Amino acid sequence: MVVNLVQERLGASSMAEQVLRTIGPVVLLGPPGAGKGTQSKRITEHYHIPQVSTGDLLREHVRQQTPLGIEVQAVIARGELVPDHLVCDIVAWRLRQPDADRGFILDGFPRTQKQAAWLDSFLKFEFFETGKWASWLPIVIRIQVDYNKLLLRITGRRTCPTCGAIYNVHSNPPLVDEICDKDGTKLVIRDDDRDEVIRERLDTYERQTKPVAEYYDKLGRLVTINGDQSVDDVSAAILKEIDGRACGVASGTEVKGN
Ligand code: AP5
Ligand code: MG
Ligand code: ZN
């Protein structure tokens, strides 16, 4: 089921985990098409910590037509947000998997102020007060990209239903048209990547998720990165931020919990 699929996809990262350092929680914020998924995969490869994409997890539930998937299908198709309590339950389950012990990248979560407040207390109780980590404060990175470029990126996106690889017909095409380079699967267009739904998703971001960035900004925890650069340059900027702030690294203001 969903559990098996997640474990299968993350199994390769189990090697040498013992000797790798704790990174802690990393949150990637940004509008649809900003590059959260693309960058998460690179961070995963670099630090061997899992990508936790609420969008991917929800889509997997829909694909498998679980009770949750059936419940949220129409909401996702309209480009609206799934109710907070449902998403928080999925995230809690995912972050309790053993591969998240050294840290994780939250891709697409939190997206409302309620989710952000829930995450703060979850991280505090589950990772800090249990003595697992020196801090529970996430590194929050916002990837910023101009509205019109987002539209082009989303309409050009193709994804692999087998391995989750993300392509773009304009900026990052596969070697063979519509076929995944890694496993030969036919690429697909996401159901919510239709014009009218894309606009609703962008509006939802403005209304409900921008305040999350403001919440972290007020707490002095927000770092904004220019996402309108090459994928490599965006990755380099993100890795630099994470290297300087990772949980347990004795520098910066985010080391100690309070
Ligand atoms: P989700 O799956 O999270 O979608 P999203 O936020 O709309 O973001 P996208 O996945 O569209 O974009 P991305 O930033 O990952 O960009 P990508 O790397 O693919 O959520 C989907 C739905 O699920 C929501 O609408 C909601 O209904 C529900 N949901 C999810 N989380 C929820 C939550 N927390 N609460 C409630 N509901 C929730 O890149 C885009 C394209 O650009 C690709 O083609 C890529 O190749 C290309 N690209 C990337 N970087 C660059 C670059 N630097 N230069 C040029 N092209 C680039
Ligand atoms: Mg994504
Ligand atoms: Zn693939």
Cα–ligand 1 centroid distance for 79 (angstroms): 12
* pLDDT for residue 3 is more than 50: no
pLDDT, tens digit, 9 for 90 and up, residues 173-225: 999 999 999 999 999 999 999 988 999 999 999 999 999 999 999 999 999 99
107 CA closest ligand 1 atom index = 3
pLDDT, tens digit, 9 for 90 and up, residues 9-40: 444 444 444 457 889 999 999 999 999 999 99
Alpha carbon nearest to ligand 1 atom 20, residue = 55
Residues with CB under 5 A from ligand 3 (ion): 160, 162-163, 165, 180, 182-183, 185
Ligand 1 pocket, 103 CB below 6 A?
no
pLDDT, tens digit, 9 for 90 and up, residues 39-95: 999 999 999 999 999 999 999 999 999 999 999 999 999 999 999 999 999 999 999
Which parts of the chain fold into alpha helices (H)?
Answer: 2-10, 36-47, 54-64, 67-78, 84-95, 113-123, 147-155, 195-204, 210-218, 231-245
- pTM, two decimals, is 0.90
Cα–ligand 1 centroid distance for 187 (angstroms): 16
**Angstrom distances, CA of residue 142 to CA of 20, 117, 159:** 25, 18, 23
Return the active site residues: 36, 111, 157, 190, 201
